[in-house]
């Protein structure tokens, strides 16, 4: 817990100017500067990569990446990565968010027929864009965390509450210990017993739910594995995440489009099911017996 608090304090104080000042004042080799140049230019993705993943990308040793963070004054590479994530999240506050009622004017001049066609086209475009840009390694990493966790907590509020419930039902069919946190139970009560063996799925898109952001804080402090299903790397729920899966949410109405997020839910459920194949088959067969007995289908 003490190490976690140090990380949060370092990240909080490590704004853009502070990190740049550390780089400017550090004694770095040419190789160090090339490493940092890559990290800063690709911050949106690099701040969620492990030292081993960065090393593979740069064709250097993982110890070289760790040494760079130490030269900048961070006690660990994890602390440096957290500072970069915090910096990225702060950028979100510089962007002006379009309030829902302001978006109504974007489609006010369309006929109903045009609106139907436009919304359908937009949904297909979002899904196609996510299929072409999806990082399959993020899906695999998230599935591994979901399959191996002692318990899985799926958190989503407001518009994402229903999706959290659906994802909970889907994932609950292929592994035990899935809990959904969507407002029917107090957030703090639901997450107070989080441990390092648990995984927390945070589902939130702009404008981000304050409750989901607080859930992210609780998960970080508990040392739980965090999986973010969101729309931008600058999302505050990405801070501390081991796996980030982005979904395009551009919409033509006052609300976000969540079709791409549903696709992500299906991909993750399929991957977790495959990883727990034998357990999954036995579990589904047992569930089917009870469903028939109760006449639900």
Domain boundaries, the chain: 2-92, 103-294
Mean pLDDT of the chain: 83
Strand ranges (E), the chain: 152-156, 178-181, 199-203, 225-230, 243-246
More confident residue, 116 or 68: 68
pLDDT at 202: 97
Compute and round to an integer the Cα radius of gyration of the chain.
21
CA distance 140 to 137: 5
* pLDDT, tens digit (0-9, with 9 covering 90-100), for 42-65: 888 888 888 998 998 888 999 999
Q: How far from chain centre, in Å, is Cα 269? A: 16
Q: At residue 256, does pLDDT exceed 90?
A: no
Per-residue pLDDT, averaged over 167-191, amounts to: 93
In terms of CATH architecture, what is 103-294? 3-Layer(aba) Sandwich (3.40)
C-alpha distances out from residue 93 to 9, 33, 81, 236, 275, Å = 19, 29, 20, 10, 39
Q: At residue 2, does pLDDT exceed 50?
A: no
CA distance 1 to 61: 29
pLDDT at 93: 58
Cβ atoms 188, 243 nearer than 8 A: no
Q: What three-state secondary structure class fits 164?
A: helix
More confident residue, 292 or 9: 292
Query: Per-residue confidence at 22, pLDDT binned at 50, 70, 90?
Result: confident
Cβ atoms 163, 262 nearer than 8 A: yes
Q: At residue 8, does pLDDT exceed 50?
A: no
Cis peptide before 207 (omega within 30 of 0): yes
Question: Is the domain 2-92 a CATH 1.10.10.10 member?
Answer: yes
Per-residue pLDDT, averaged over 247-257, amounts to: 74
Q: At what angle do helices 277-294 and 259-275 cross, to 10 degrees?
A: 110
pLDDT at 14: 40
* pLDDT, tens digit (0-9, with 9 covering 90-100), for 112-166: 787 778 778 877 877 777 665 557 888 999 999 999 999 999 999 998 999 999 9
pLDDT at 241: 92
Q: What is the pTM of this model?
A: 0.67
pLDDT at 6: 46
């Amino acid at each position: 817990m003490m190490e976690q608090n140090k990380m949060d304090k370092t990240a909080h104080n490590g704004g853009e100017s502070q990190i740049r000042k550390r780089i400017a004042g550090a004694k770095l080799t040419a190789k160090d500067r090339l490493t940092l140049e890559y990290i800063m230019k690709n911050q949106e993705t690099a701040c969620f990569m492990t030292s081993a993943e960065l090393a593979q990308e740069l064709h250097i040793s993982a110890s070289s990446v760790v040494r760079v963070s130490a030269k900048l004054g961070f006690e660990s590479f994890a602390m440096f990565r957290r500072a970069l994530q915090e910096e990225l999240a702060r950028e979100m506050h510089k962007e002006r968010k379009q309030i829902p009622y302001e978006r109504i004017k974007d489609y006010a001049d369309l006929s109903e027929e045009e609106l139907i066609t436009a919304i359908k086209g937009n949904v297909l475009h979002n899904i196609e864009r996510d299929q072409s840009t999806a990082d399959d390694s993020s899906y695999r990493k998230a599935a591994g965390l979901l399959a191996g966790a002692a318990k899985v907590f799926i958190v989503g509020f407001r518009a994402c509450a229903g999706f959290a419930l659906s994802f909970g039902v889907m994932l609950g069919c292929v592994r035990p210990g899935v809990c959904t946190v969507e407002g029917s139970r107090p957030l703090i009560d639901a997450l107070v017993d989080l441990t390092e063996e648990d995984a927390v799925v945070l589902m939130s898109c702009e404008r981000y739910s304050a409750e989901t952001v607080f859930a992210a804080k609780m998960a970080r402090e508990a040392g739980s594995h965090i999986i973010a299903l969101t729309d931008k790397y600058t999302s505050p729920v990405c801070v501390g995440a081991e796996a980030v899966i982005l979904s395009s949410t551009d919409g033509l109405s006052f609300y976000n489009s969540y079709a791409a997020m549903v696709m992500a839910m299906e991909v993750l459920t399929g991957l977790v099911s495959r990883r727990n194949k034998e357990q999954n088959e036995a579990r589904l067969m047992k569930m089917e017996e009870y469903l028939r007995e109760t006449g639900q289908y």
